[in-house]
Structure 1
């Protein structure tokens, strides 16, 4: 056990820079946080039927998320119970059996041990029940799949708490057809995972870092993205979760559907009419295409960010993998509006894509934070920004601040301290 005084590293308004660069702290985070809470591992639409799977991670531990023959979703450690070789290297797919390439042990899609070559070589026999793939507790909310090593942990719905309201609102981007994953891209940056965790509810950087993105927009859209001057707020939702409302008029995508269709979506509206959608549905799909007006941060590893999922995976103390998941309308087997989903992908590419205006600028900022953190041995990361939230907007009793406040970061680090000192 580490002798580090974790409580002393997190104050009410600042955290110590050691949290970015101490490898011993990183190792403890993998044990105390990622093995002791609910961690996002995928979305139901990525498992479109029985015998489907995808690879994922819980912290730095590789897992396989599967939908078994009965349709139940499971999370399995990607490790043969014989000599520890991984049993799955494909990113995703459909198959009923995983076979270890080293000694041929095979497992059913639900993790049960299926067959052991030359089993008579075990003098006292082999208990198949004992040597199936290790199963993690798995629960789903609004199509989002979470797993945990803790069998005794509180139910997922309790862990999410007030964040559920915002997840429900976020999923209205399905326009009533459900939400499905359209694609993803991954990249790594040389920095600590918490640097990215902070970013999702950081509106303060937006007009500075993303000036090139704002310059690429028409005047109407640029005005919408005046995220600091829009009357939004940041709210602590408990358990380290937080929400940053940037565009209050787009919290509930089903509100005010009679408003004029923005000019930038006029062509899309014509395409939707050509697909056969009636006028109320055209307006609903157009509103869904543009995404929500908020970012929801779910501690420790996933964000519902305006129109996509952003997933972080800690690799080492100074390396993090980011997965940007583009989402659209439909379930795993259907696409109710090809035009609508094409438009969502183009908007995703414009900002979040690898050649977009947003992601490269964000990633450079994160890398510079890690580089700068090497300067000075006893300096602090300041998280003290924020004035009061606009009156009457945040949930009563919740800690909240204006849109550019650092309430979300303070919420995440207080949860970090609770878990690291438990």
Structure 2
């Protein structure tokens, strides 16, 4: 889309305080502008430090529609590099992750260190005496890390990551308590695509309203004790706008801070794990801390524009096309923790988020139905007006809304509007 076409779209009019226009799901021109105005102008999550644990390790990722490589060089410094040779634009890395001291372009053999510096060019004398390798490193993005979460941006003049995250940092810190005293690490992931716009998924992470309907089969698969815990609309939870498009949905207040309530009775479903940990020699305080952490926290944290800390896993979205989105569900566990605890975390992840689980297929079906249904009225609006009024006298404060409110969606679209009209 050229500049004149972009100027013809009034992005500000497409987002109202209580609704957004259907074209946000369907217009390829809007999608193209989102890749430029949002994903090249905000902090975008690209990975977790546990994915590059040692020097010369790397993992592939994306910033919007731009392929990148997240690396840790020989000095242990983290870099985010565009996955594109400076010579003729071939991708230099096709392996998902691994360890190497150099990336070699398979087309003409230009090689790069993990900090992006161009190391060698075959037959470089043909370029002439003026050729300077220092002028052609891999393009490096500005990179900052908060509590193991790696973010990158194309903008050198953007606000610091700490400022962008703001109040969300408190919730990231709470989420990372799932390590139960150990560092949090990535255990594995489940990846899939759905035929729908990326913002449909962005909305979903703080949408408790759908949970008892879409996920009824999941709830039916649980014992009565666990079903009561997942009564997300009846536990006194709340939704909170954290600024800059971020939001948090607290579904199980008792599980917000995993360092608290350690004297509570161990749930029946975790008694076997507790006993196994005791038999391995862990003291009772540590056993209770690990058992309380294995089920995850009681909230979903949405970080604009592409990642969520969702109860017990990372959910990462990647826009592919206006009507196609890639999703990564990344299981996390305790780095150096007992195998038994990490095994239980993986089994719980598989139960809901795995490819044969109850959550992912039902969610994806809902997201695709939204995309299909949006074709039945290009001039209609998507409502995000549920629960606009703050809760009175709530323990979390006077600014929070009902757990089933659409506050998180309004927060994300407020940020969308701000960035798209900047």
Fold shared, TM-score > 0.5 on shorter chain: yes
SS where residue 176 of structure 1 aligns?
coil
SS where residue 309 of structure 1 aligns?
strand
Match of 1:69 in 2: 74
**Please, which of 142, 149, 166 is the counterpart of residue 147 of structure 2?**
142
Matched residues in 1 for 2:277 and 2:34: separation? Answer: 48
Q: RMSD of aligned C-alpha atoms?
A: 0.9
SS where residue 90 of structure 1 aligns?
coil
Aligned pairs for 1:25-104 within 5 A: 25-104=30-109
Matched residues in 2 for 1:391 and 1:104: separation? Answer: 66
1:393 deviates by: 3.5
1:276 deviates by: 1.4
1:390 deviates by: 5.7
Match of 2:377 in 1: 376
Matched residues in 2 for 1:56 and 1:5: separation? Answer: 32
Match of 1:247 in 2: 252
> Is the Cα–Cα contact under 8 Å of residues 245 and 251 in structure 1 kept in the other structure?
yes
Match of 1:414 in 2: 414
Q: Does 1:191 align with 2:196?
A: yes
**Please, which of 322, 326, 335 is the counterpart of residue 321 of structure 1?**
326
Match of 1:336 in 2: 337
Aligned pairs for 1:3-402 within 5 A: 3-330=8-335, 335-386=336-387, 387-389=389-391, 391-394=393-396, 398=399, 400-402=400-402
Deviations 1:35-63 (A, max 9, x none): 00000000000001000000000000000
1:130 deviates by: 1.2
1:395 deviates by: 5.2
SS where residue 176 of structure 2 aligns?
helix
Matched residues in 1 for 2:261 and 2:318: separation? Answer: 38
Matched residues in 2 for 1:170 and 1:390: separation? Answer: 27
SS where residue 204 of structure 1 aligns?
helix
> Is the Cα–Cα contact under 8 Å of residues 231 and 390 in structure 1 kept in the other structure?
no
> Is the Cα–Cα contact under 8 Å of residues 233 and 402 in structure 1 kept in the other structure?
yes
1:392 deviates by: 3.9
Matched residues in 2 for 1:77 and 1:271: separation? Answer: 46
User: Normalising by the residue count of structure 2, what TM-score does the alignment of the two structures yield?
Assistant: 0.97
SS where residue 89 of structure 2 aligns?
coil
SS where residue 96 of structure 1 aligns?
coil
SS where residue 81 of structure 1 aligns?
coil
Which blocks of at least 5 consecutive residues in structure 1 are unaligned? Answer: none
Deviations 1:130-173 (A, max 9, x none): 10000000010010000000011111011000000000000000
SS where residue 69 of structure 2 aligns?
strand
Matched residues in 2 for 1:291 and 1:382: separation? Answer: 31
User: Normalising by the residue count of structure 1, what TM-score does the alignment of the two structures yield?
Assistant: 0.97
1:391 deviates by: 2.5
Which blocks of at least 5 consecutive residues in structure 2 are unaligned? Answer: none
Deviations 1:283-302 (A, max 9, x none): 00001101000000000000
SS where residue 288 of structure 1 aligns?
helix
> Is the Cα–Cα contact under 8 Å of residues 389 and 403 in structure 1 kept in the other structure?
no
> Is the Cα–Cα contact under 8 Å of residues 289 and 343 in structure 1 kept in the other structure?
yes
Runs of 4+ in 1 over 4 A off after TM superposition: none
Matched residues in 2 for 1:377 and 1:185: separation? Answer: 33
1:127 deviates by: 1.6
SS where residue 187 of structure 2 aligns?
strand
